[in-house]
Structure 1
């Protein structure tokens, strides 16, 4: 049987990473500079280069799995479609009023981001449906048609429809959708009762608008990518990573792009989950540090922590995420990520107060750090790490990027060390520690702020710079184990290969658990399950390859916020509902430190299902065989702070850790550098992961 290949492609702000996995476990990797003007071009170029280097044919590719930031970039840069919104009279300004939450309590100068739909493109219809789904004021079809025509005449490129309480009764929304499809059948259309039929007006309106806003951009990008792949002879099907960690077909992603807004960071977390399960690591905190940002997430008891909603374009997470309200809110499930603006390209500056500031600005792919010798004139964290001896002073990416260490030292001395009155190595080490402390805030945001003690987790580090910082950060947090997977710099791409096809469905269902009609509840859940199974069947998954799991969002009656807990399979009876109540109480206590007594009524807020398509013979091999190897590297001096000073440090390959080695040690690979501090030891496990322990 001929060997086939699966491809994972992840686009970052600096590099586009490609991983090819053969059916026999062979791995080929490629790291290529991102083509910011046309992200699809770098993917096609990288694949073409890999074909030339390996002799693999384009026809041997069976599947391409892709994580992309194209949708989130459209929002961040306000380059989405010119969108019109149709809503209920009296609710025209929901997008601007938002939830009245302030992300910066004491910053009187903070301004809300401008709404994605300007006011003159927000039009209203005089209709009203109540919270029980009863029609109080019927929709006037003539008025609805006039509103639709007015938006078409304004030249809108997409339309969003979000009427009051349409989650309880979608009749009026469906009538307007019919008018749009009749008058402008090719115009992208986003209808709240189809994309997000859940309670809360701002959240539903914002989600529906974001979906419309990015639809034309995502569709255009996917068309360009498909054309480029076909032109290179790659006809394999294309799957997109969703924000929630599941895959969806490119056609489904074009129809509901709201699910791929945070597509980029999800692959690494899913890969970490798969490897953690394989190695019996029940609880891990993932740490992904690239060139621009660092991200953290948790895998607890083998399950990825997910958030029911998140904000796009809220800026990087610079403090407690308990302060929300910035950015544009999306109420769709997503991996619960915290992010800080700290990457290899983060700029190091001395501020007006004489303190060192690292990030959030980044040198990015162009011009890059000073040591890249491509015109960069501002010192960065990568420059600091070159000065400290942590990074090979001659090259990166297996020699693909030549470094100018002398230039990095000269600029760092002039712009950081001299203004601080510090010796060069101490200044560079200080910048390294400040970057680490910034990133520790992201780890605390997904652990301490969620009622979890980071000391009982292992730190799973990847990204081009994650393994370089992980040991020091674990030491600061009291964590005792760090795991670095194979190909860490490309692990987000590798992680895409572990994901399953997933579809998430939810609907509002507000009932007290103690008085809910069980027949009505079971019928509602079955309807969602049928929707999920129907979508999976359309994509070729049926029988044992189609799996549906259930969950419920609940709160104590009168609370504004809810928590999600799993719900067992099968028809629910009174005993099963009591078990769901108890699971909610346990999660409430774990998250907030307390729970109410048994007499406090618990309210269902929404019911949810996840449909998973499990690929036949799709499990990844236990052992993969990286196709690359590096020659022996001589030791070099590295600086470990004012106490330890400069130490002649062995520089190893990953394979050298078959025998346990005591730090300090530097492990150099094609795509990343791993630093083992004094007092820690490192070894390889039977899956090829580097395990660093104190």
Structure 2
């Protein structure tokens, strides 16, 4: 066995990638099978094996990024869940943190709790924040609570007691009672899911783990069976929200770790690319059929977030305006997301202004040009009208395009009501979609104290390379990088990931009074546990790497920042690192006399493969059939320009824009005034020159 395959499910397409022992790359793009996502994976892989000429038995592992967990939350289709908590605290899940996502909006309503009130039961017990037991657990009451939830027919139970992170004994006992009364029923204990302080975040995260657990467990079980039936015997690994991989069995136990699995893969791919070409600072831009995501890579490191929310709409804009969705306090790549993709609908709002998204035509029926019954134009239809996309077919000819239908829809629904020509209306929709996505890039850069002009834009996804150069110009960025197989790059990114174990514990200490030996002892204990977990997965000591981090704040602050540190670093090093990060993020730092407090310790353990998952160089794709030039519209100033349609290989010598680079999985647009060329690794480098932004 020497091939590795990966599968990334998107809202419109499922992307499949296989990499062979010599770096040969084979890709496949198929429509997502909504309702049974695994079917598209198995059927698509079968087609890929035939086209690539190798058998399923040659596959040594299958890597997977999935939206099943997030969809269960978004669509409220999770398991019927019960919650057992400390008496008097069952409404923590509903009270939340009183954060308002939209200031002064009196019509905003918080999302419905995932566990209704009658399924949230309290038991008599009390543990103090020091870990001391003030009130022993009422075991009879705990047993009665479990029996009551079972009588209601719950499919999963979450247990989250006050300050259990400091003393897990009561939670462990309730877990044992659940196992006794309902063997096999999924039970999530907060001490296993999130042993950290902050009551709402801990409760919400534990509840979500229970809510999506049965759904993801059934999906992974069925997918595993289907893969084995298709002859794939290698292990199935899932992408975590943090960008690491985890075994499918572990993902079924801690599904809360894979909620943002799909978007993370692309950022990890961009990080691997940045390291390969010597690009320390980059912003990843991933635009598919439904959403666009942005992440930041600084000094070759991916920015991480300690928590995020799901189901509160699009994740973009100031992080202070949070609280709209369901809170998850788990490690994740710091991403901003907007509802802008090829399938985003273009409409005129009640005020007579054009709007793009966040509603999407999705995979079915898709854009008007797909000919599947949709009459409302989309961003893809606008790009067809503008001449940017092939007017006959996409995906290597597998997806026929009706350009006349796109033009008629843009004309009838948008252009005529606004008094514009179809190309003017389509160009306006293209610019509106771009401006929406620029907000996502600003959210991970300028709103984090980073100037985007000091970063390169790494663009991928089915639509990312089409918009990247125009967006970069608007932001004052000078370079765009479009990697090989950009349209399926998130699936490629899966192949660059390592197995990861994340551990954390609350550990409140003031740095100026902290004994360095105590810090080392606590961090070393977490590190030893991470190494033991990876060893249990078959990784020998020489292939295990562990990184330490601490979450800190100025004493009295409500929010924290995470700072990495090495073995032997003392409290003073942590305090200085926190001050520097605070200044970089917020533009200032407190004076030397302001106390700094450690809130929690974290470690990330990585299990390295016996050989790199990604080869140093990917074999180039087969040469594309030359295409004739076609007119493309670049706004009122430039108008229609006769634009060459090129294959990637044609950029071996630099070419001036305008130009369109057509590939199997995506289309790249080089605007007038820009220069495009290939680097030594086959990436398209678009040089935008000096910008006036």
State the TM-score, normalizing by the size of structure 2: 0.98
Post-superposition shift, 1:519? 3.2
Of the three residues 141, 154, 157, the one matched with 2:155 is 157
Q: Is 1:257 the counterpart of 2:255 in the alignment?
A: yes
Post-superposition shift, 1:320? 2.6
Deviates more, 1:74-83 or 1:176-185: 176-185
1:450-529 correspondence to structure 2 within 5 Å: 450-529=448-527
Post-superposition shift, 1:542? 2.0
- Secondary structure at the aligned position of 1:210 is classed as helix
Q: Deviations over 1:506-565 (max 9, x none)?
A: 010001011123333322212211211111001111222011110000000110100000
Of the three residues 601, 612, 616, the one matched with 2:606 is 612
Contact 2:92 2:200 in 1 (8 A): yes
Contact 2:516 2:571 in 1 (8 A): no
Cα distance between partner residues in 2 of 1:629 and 1:326: 48
Of the three residues 580, 592, 596, the one matched with 1:598 is 592
Contact 2:620 2:682 in 1 (8 A): no
Contact 2:13 2:29 in 1 (8 A): yes
Of the three residues 173, 178, 181, the one matched with 2:179 is 181
Contact 1:533 1:542 in 2 (8 A): no
* Counterpart position of 1:299: 297
Post-superposition shift, 1:627? 4.2
Structure 2, gaps ≥5 residues long:
689-693
- Secondary structure at the aligned position of 2:512 is classed as coil
Q: Deviations over 1:375-402 (max 9, x none)?
A: 1100011001000000010010010100
* Counterpart position of 1:430: 428
* Counterpart position of 1:348: 346
Structure 1, gaps ≥5 residues long:
none
- Secondary structure at the aligned position of 2:411 is classed as helix
* Counterpart position of 2:534: 536
Q: Deviations over 1:340-378 (max 9, x none)?
A: 010001111111211110001001111110111111100
Of the three residues 669, 673, 683, the one matched with 2:667 is 673
* Counterpart position of 2:73: 75
Of the three residues 657, 662, 669, the one matched with 1:663 is 657
Contact 1:665 1:676 in 2 (8 A): yes
Q: Deviations over 1:417-476 (max 9, x none)?
A: 000001111111011000000000000000011000000000000000000000000000
Q: Deviations over 1:35-75 (max 9, x none)?
A: 11111111000011112222211100001100000000000
* Counterpart position of 1:33: 31
Q: Is 1:581 the counterpart of 2:579 in the alignment?
A: no
Cα distance between partner residues in 1 of 2:319 and 2:428: 26
Post-superposition shift, 1:321? 2.8
Cα distance between partner residues in 1 of 2:319 and 2:341: 20
* Counterpart position of 1:370: 368
Post-superposition shift, 1:626? 4.0
* Counterpart position of 2:309: 311
- Secondary structure at the aligned position of 1:150 is classed as helix
Cα distance between partner residues in 1 of 2:272 and 2:48: 26
- Secondary structure at the aligned position of 2:382 is classed as helix
Q: Deviations over 1:211-267 (max 9, x none)?
A: 011110111000010111011111111000000000000011011011000001111
Cα distance between partner residues in 1 of 2:424 and 2:574: 55
Contact 1:369 1:380 in 2 (8 A): yes
Post-superposition shift, 1:619? 4.6
Cα distance between partner residues in 2 of 1:520 and 1:642: 67
Cα distance between partner residues in 2 of 1:126 and 1:178: 17
* Counterpart position of 1:64: 62
Contact 1:651 1:665 in 2 (8 A): yes
Contact 1:40 1:225 in 2 (8 A): yes
Q: Is 1:86 the counterpart of 2:80 in the alignment?
A: no
- Secondary structure at the aligned position of 2:436 is classed as helix
Cα distance between partner residues in 2 of 1:33 and 1:620: 26
Q: Deviations over 1:56-98 (max 9, x none)?
A: 1110000110000000000000010100100001101000000
For the aligned residue pairs, the C-alpha RMSD in angstroms reads: 0.9
Contact 2:283 2:297 in 1 (8 A): yes
Cα distance between partner residues in 2 of 1:464 and 1:324: 29
Q: Deviations over 1:471-504 (max 9, x none)?
A: 0000000000000000011000000000010011
Contact 1:28 1:626 in 2 (8 A): no
1:626-641 correspondence to structure 2 within 5 Å: 626-641=620-635
* Counterpart position of 2:691: none
Cα distance between partner residues in 2 of 1:629 and 1:120: 63
- Secondary structure at the aligned position of 2:513 is classed as coil
Contact 2:623 2:649 in 1 (8 A): no
- Secondary structure at the aligned position of 1:504 is classed as strand
Cα distance between partner residues in 2 of 1:405 and 1:319: 35
Q: Is 1:414 the counterpart of 2:404 in the alignment?
A: no
* Counterpart position of 1:219: 217
Cα distance between partner residues in 1 of 2:263 and 2:347: 27
Post-superposition shift, 1:675? 0.3
Cα distance between partner residues in 2 of 1:582 and 1:123: 44
Of the three residues 107, 122, 125, the one matched with 2:123 is 125
Cα distance between partner residues in 2 of 1:589 and 1:151: 49
Cα distance between partner residues in 2 of 1:47 and 1:423: 44
State the TM-score, normalizing by the size of structure 1: 0.98
Cα distance between partner residues in 2 of 1:168 and 1:321: 29
- Secondary structure at the aligned position of 1:90 is classed as coil
Contact 1:83 1:160 in 2 (8 A): yes
Contact 2:382 2:429 in 1 (8 A): yes
Q: Deviations over 1:86-144 (max 9, x none)?
A: 00011010000000010011211111100010100001011111111111111111111
Cα distance between partner residues in 1 of 2:578 and 2:316: 30
- Secondary structure at the aligned position of 1:264 is classed as helix
Cα distance between partner residues in 1 of 2:124 and 2:455: 54
Cα distance between partner residues in 1 of 2:139 and 2:646: 73
Q: Deviations over 1:610-662 (max 9, x none)?
A: 00001111252222124443200010000011001110001100000000001
- Secondary structure at the aligned position of 1:514 is classed as helix
